[in-house]
Structure formats: C-alpha cells, structure tokens
Amino acid sequence: MTRGLKTLTFQAAALAASAMIMLTVSAITRAAPAPAAAAVQIDNFTFKAPVTTVKPGTTVTWTNADDIPHTVVSKDGAFKSKVLDTGDHFSFTFAKPGQFGYYCSLHPHMTGIIIVKA
C-alpha cells in the first residue's frame, strides 16, 4: 500500500470514528422532556380548577390571584403551603396515583381535589 493511500485510509477511519462519537454524544445529551405541569388559580374565594386530573410526576402550582391571603393544605397532610398573599404561588409534585383532597385553612369552605392517574 502506498504512503498516500495509507494516509487517505487513516483519514477516512478517523472521520468515521468522529461521526460515531458525535452520534453517541447527541443521543446521550438529547434533552429530556420537560416535567408535566398543571396550574390552579385561586380567586374570589375559590380554587378555579376544583378537580384537576394529572399523571404521576406532575407538578401542580397554585397561584393566589385573590386580593386576600389563602393557603393550600392537603387533607392527608402530604403538603401544606405558607400563607399565600396576592401573586404568591405554591407547588407540589404528585409522585404516585391517588386522590388528594385539599382546602384553604383560612377559608375551609374552599376545597379541591387532585386526581393522579397513571
């Protein structure tokens, strides 16, 4: 094999190896899908989505759009927000299936349910 042919063969092999490395890195670093999210607005003494159905792993965010403070407290003790002033928000990620009732501890007539289905 001539010297020029050896050089050309080496360059082709190096190019092929580089392409394989780039494909592997691309597959590894491909962005994971964004976690699921859901929103519940608090306004006029109500949770605007009183029943919200999500999949496991979904983060639900409650936002207080009312002009008075509210809280978000689960009936089973799984989560509890601080007092939310106007514009404040609270988030919780639901990891497993089930029904999760919640209420405002300042206004107990305000209730809602998060249903988590696989």
pLDDT tens digits for range 104-113: 999 999 999 9
Q: Give the domain range for residue 25.
A: 1-30
Residues 41 and 21 in one domain: no
Residues 45 and 90 in one domain: yes
Is residue 71 within 8 Å of residue 96, measured between CB atoms?
Answer: no
Residues 58 and 17 in one domain: no
**pTM of full prediction above 0.85:** no
- What is the C-alpha to C-alpha distance for residues 102 and 52, in angstroms, rounded to an integer? 11
Residues 72 and 19 in one domain: no
Residues 105 and 60 in one domain: yes
Residues 4 and 59 in one domain: no
Residues 45 and 93 in one domain: yes
Is residue 37 within 8 Å of residue 58, measured between CB atoms?
Answer: yes
Residues 26 and 41 in one domain: no
Tens-place pLDDT, residues 13-69: 554 555 455 555 455 556 656 668 999 999 999 999 999 999 999 999 999 999 999
Is residue 84 within 8 Å of residue 69, measured between CB atoms?
Answer: yes
Give the domain CATH number at 104: 2.60.40.420
Residues 51 and 85 in one domain: yes
Residues 88 and 105 in one domain: yes
Residues 50 and 97 in one domain: yes
What's the total number of domains in the chain? 2
Tens-place pLDDT, residues 94-103: 999 999 999 9
Residues 8 and 64 in one domain: no
SS3 of 58, please?
strand
DSSP lists the bridge partners of residue 103 as 73, 111
